[in-house]
Chain A
């Protein structure tokens, strides 16, 4: 399978760092504002199935809003990120959520991520409050830390697992246009990676 994911949320909440941590297992030290939309992908194993996540990391800054909006369509899952040390980013969640619900596919699976969990001392949004918000809006919820890597992989995997479940239960139809899901012959493609040709193989699997 191939799932198209989005990472959205206000500027400075650590979306790019989350993605970097997820893909490289490293914290990105000197991170700049994302310009427009960035791209990353990773092959993960979810419930015995190989799934390739194609992740679009959007810019949080308002000025890029119109550009990033055009990427929403055809996303199967989204990570909605806020910063637990910033009430402002939490308050903006409703806006982001409306955007995602209206612009992306109606079946999009969204997971709420309270990032910067490591900065507990500066916390402005409690776990309880956020999880209540998540419940009300039918979102999954996790507090993450791109710095320590805590819950980062879990967030992506949890989202992917939910999508897989929905597919298996028939709730989601991967064949439908704009579902953000594609069948892929992942097993074959892995076999195809030629020995040593790293750069090339990275190209290869970028679908």
Chain B
């Protein structure tokens, strides 16, 4: 029956006239009458027929909908007007409280609404949520509908049950035009019952245009937006989006935003420098604001005057103005920091630009650091004074034997003041005062260091956002140099500061070198974290693991020619995309995903060292590899080296481990560390011994007849290579033998394979910036690339020999193994590396450790103990020289010191 209703009114009329059918019979689950169905489908003629037959126009179905509701919902204009003609009640609500007006408003059917409002007494009918038609129209942004409703007298400020006004609804969905209409008609700016304002909603949704409209009508909201940067609940990118949009409206707007942001940042920076503030919260707040500031700064207004101008060469751009004004300001500051007189100050005020408020903060920062520098100086002087005075006083006073430590200075000083009643009183008092100042100063530094460092970080961010990518602002470099001592003092006290705030180090090598020694002394793990954090910094959504991969970005390789085909696809692939993620698929196979990627790296890494390609040669111990100096037998070899570099770089980038172990010297090459003669041992132990011997003994009377040239074997033919110009005629003497050894080493290790290394590094650096990899030494690099091997302590213990006085049962040996048990896996690897030079346990376990000449078990030799003596090792014979420590604690302590600093320890061997 309902099917018939579709439109065949004739058959319906026949049916109706011929049967005793009740026109108001309710069909189906939802209990709709025929009239409902007609209204719903828009079958006007049927509808009229039904109405004529006496169907009830106000009949409600199970959800309370009348035919009018359905007609309104589906926009059946004619049906609607007919229903109205038959005096359908427009004010009936369905079960949710929606009337026909609501339905029209939701869908923005203005025309129909026009007709309908003529019959409506109250357009502000509320639904169950207290929403009127205006609310729903605003939410959906139907401009004309909104206008129509307002024309019909809808209450523009009517709140729903939660207090939300139409404007609130418009803003929550970023309906810019609707919001504009509402504001134009005098809508009030009201928050809902939870205090959430329309602006909050706009910012939460990142609706810049709507915010702009709001500000147009309520200029004060501008400040509110700026203040929102301090609210950590808001999503930064949304807020940024809004500010971005606003700043693009006009140049003046742009400058205003920057100035205001700078002001807020300055206030926050100052608060951060207040010791009573919450460090974490303030620090985050400051950095967030500065981040937003830099972001907005870089975007700039899109006004025609400087559309795409990068702002570094045009005079009209605000950015170049910034530089100019800044310079003026700096000059003024330099002329007289102490007595900035009023006229000059006014001048600065006049030249106010967006950065100016921040200058205040940087100024404070500067002063703080200067203050601490002077305190440090004073501290040094005073502590020298104090100790000397204390020493003098110790005699006559016969006071307690141990001098009070600085932290107890105040207390100690108190006691002292009371005790000494003789002539020395004033002197003692003096000491006390100084000690107090000293302790105080320690306090000042420890309390402010992290705060100041955070401000420095902000300073760096601001400085660098004004520079072209990849350059460090000279101003910042100057700043760091100026405060070098203080900054070093900070990081010495609390190295974590480097990782938390001194990211600038990674971006400017010239500053990095100043702090390198401190950084290198930090735990490997921390540096690793820092390394990856920075490596993945600038990448969008780097945490999204399962990003859909574009079909074109999949590396399709052939399993049977994996090396060549991989090389081909990788060299063609987009480097930036590879950094973000790799997807590999083998030709003719379905598999994809992390497992395949892992397999790819695994197979590829063993392929790279496949002797068939002649790219890498095995070193003497048979487990490590280094570039083959004769690789040019393969005409494409440099390309392949570049590819190998890319693969290792990629692997490191994506934390994939490779199945290759390189020689110590090659790791050094990757890191850019110079090699030394000890490294020769890995490729030619015999030769290394000879070099060692030359260094250790007086060679003047031996008649070695060495010259500064070397014969090398190129596929069987001997060739003489000079070590330096005219080297063949320069004799090696006692005086220049060190140079000779170094040059020979470089020839063997570096020069012979220089093109290969360069090509490799070229590929490697595509994925890993050189400044980052510097964080590690050659041992750590091996761990990063090839991973941490499992070490079986029991196997180790079983296959260890003892010489020079040690026996298995000795107390010291017992302690040693106890300590090894206590070490972390990482430290055990370090120990193994320390003694054998390799982090790897050979296949088959410790029984198969190789030495310089064949199998050589791990050996522990006794050394007479003297205070502070560290353990040493001879890597060629896998020997640990362990002093006979008096206690387990000392042993552990010394051993750990050796392990953590030992990477530079070759010279001791």
Give residues in A with beta carbon < 8 Å to B.
33, 35-39, 54, 56, 63-64, 66-67, 69-71, 73-74, 102-103, 106, 177-178, 182-185, 188, 191-194, 200, 203-204, 206-207
List 9 other contacts, CB 8 Å, given A36-B274, A207-B264.
Answer: A37-B274, A64-B371, A71-B364, A74-B357, A102-B339, A178-B352, A207-B227, A207-B230, A207-B267
Q: Is B360 a contact partner of A70 (Cβ separation < 8 A)?
A: yes
Contact code string B327-364 (vs A, CB < 8 Å = 1, else 0): 00000000000011110011001001000110010011
Question: Within the assembled complex, what's the spacing in Å between the Cα atoms of A195 and B435?
Answer: 49
- Most B CB contacts (10 A, CB to CB) among A54, A64, A70, A177 go to A70
Cβ–Cβ < 8 Å partners of B230 in chain A: 203-204, 206-207
Cβ–Cβ < 8 Å partners of A103 in chain B: 340, 345
User: Which stretch in B64-72, B190-198, B617-625, B759-767 binds the other chain?
Assistant: B190-198
11 contacts between A and B (CB under 8 A): A36-B274, A36-B444, A74-B357, A74-B360, A177-B259, A178-B349, A192-B196, A203-B281, A206-B271, A207-B230, A207-B267
Cβ–Cβ < 8 Å partners of A69 in chain B: 367
Cβ–Cβ < 8 Å partners of B440 in chain A: 33
Cβ–Cβ < 8 Å partners of A106 in chain B: 342, 346
Q: Is B271 a contact partner of A39 (Cβ separation < 8 A)?
A: yes
Interface flag for B465 (CB, 8 Å):
no
> Smallest distance from the beta carbon of A88 to chain B beta carbons, Å?
17
Question: Within the assembled complex, what's the spacing in Å between the Cα atoms of A143 and B582?
Answer: 73
Interface flag for B414 (CB, 8 Å):
no
Q: A33-B440, A184-B223, A192-B195 are in contact. Are A66 and B356 (CB under 8 A)?
A: no
Contact of B371 among A33, A66, A74, A204 (CB under 8 A): A66
Interface flag for B273 (CB, 8 Å):
yes
Q: Is B371 a contact partner of A67 (Cβ separation < 8 A)?
A: yes
Contact of B448 among A36, A38, A70 (CB under 8 A): A36
Cβ–Cβ < 8 Å partners of B420 in chain A: none
**Top 7 A-B pairs ranked by shortest CB distance?**
A192-B195, A70-B364, A39-B274, A191-B195, A67-B367, A66-B367, A70-B363
Question: Within the assembled complex, what's the spacing in Å between the Cα atoms of A178 and B341?
Answer: 16
Cβ–Cβ < 8 Å partners of B275 in chain A: 35-36, 38
- Per the CB 8 Å criterion, the residue count for chain B at the interface is 49
> Smallest distance from the beta carbon of B635 to chain A beta carbons, Å?
66
Cβ–Cβ < 8 Å partners of B367 in chain A: 66-67, 69-70
Q: Is B342 a contact partner of A35 (Cβ separation < 8 A)?
A: no
Q: Is B270 a contact partner of A182 (Cβ separation < 8 A)?
A: no
Main secondary structure of the interface of B (DSSP, over half): helix
Q: Is B270 a contact partner of A183 (Cβ separation < 8 A)?
A: no
> Smallest distance from the beta carbon of A186 to chain B beta carbons, Å?
10
A-B contact count (CB 8 A): 98
Cβ–Cβ < 8 Å partners of A203 in chain B: 230-232, 281
Q: Is B375 a contact partner of A54 (Cβ separation < 8 A)?
A: no
Question: Within the assembled complex, what's the spacing in Å between the Cα atoms of A184 and B220?
Answer: 7
Cβ–Cβ < 8 Å partners of A38 in chain B: 274-276
> Smallest distance from the beta carbon of B418 to chain A beta carbons, Å?
20
Cβ–Cβ < 8 Å partners of B673 in chain A: none
Interface flag for B277 (CB, 8 Å):
yes
> Smallest distance from the beta carbon of A58 to chain B beta carbons, Å?
10
Cβ–Cβ < 8 Å partners of B368 in chain A: 36, 67
Interface flag for B370 (CB, 8 Å):
yes
Q: Is A37 a contact partner of B370 (Cβ separation < 8 A)?
A: no
Q: Is A56 a contact partner of B360 (Cβ separation < 8 A)?
A: no
Interface flag for B148 (CB, 8 Å):
no
Question: Within the assembled complex, what's the spacing in Å between the Cα atoms of A67 and B276?
Answer: 17
Closest to B221 in A: A185
Cβ–Cβ < 8 Å partners of A102 in chain B: 339-342, 345
Contact of A56 among B232, B270, B281, B349 (CB under 8 A): B270
Question: Within the assembled complex, what's the spacing in Å between the Cα atoms of A63 and B373?
Answer: 12
Cβ–Cβ < 8 Å partners of A63 in chain B: 371, 374-375
Cβ–Cβ < 8 Å partners of B339 in chain A: 102
Q: Is B270 a contact partner of A39 (Cβ separation < 8 A)?
A: yes
Q: A177-B352, A207-B227, A207-B267 are in contact. Are A35 and B194 (CB under 8 A)?
A: no
Interface flag for B430 (CB, 8 Å):
no
Interface flag for B818 (CB, 8 Å):
no
Cβ–Cβ < 8 Å partners of A182 in chain B: 223
Closest to A64 in B: B371
Question: Within the assembled complex, what's the spacing in Å between the Cα atoms of A125 and B231?
Answer: 47
> Smallest distance from the beta carbon of B856 to chain A beta carbons, Å?
61
Question: Within the assembled complex, what's the spacing in Å between the Cα atoms of A41 and B194?
Answer: 24
Cβ–Cβ < 8 Å partners of A71 in chain B: 270, 364
Question: Within the assembled complex, what's the spacing in Å between the Cα atoms of A203 and B349?
Answer: 30
Cβ–Cβ < 8 Å partners of A35 in chain B: 275, 443-444, 447-448
Q: Is A194 a contact partner of B371 (Cβ separation < 8 A)?
A: no
Interface flag for B224 (CB, 8 Å):
yes
Interface residues of B in 224-260 (CB under 8 A from A): 224, 227, 230-233, 259
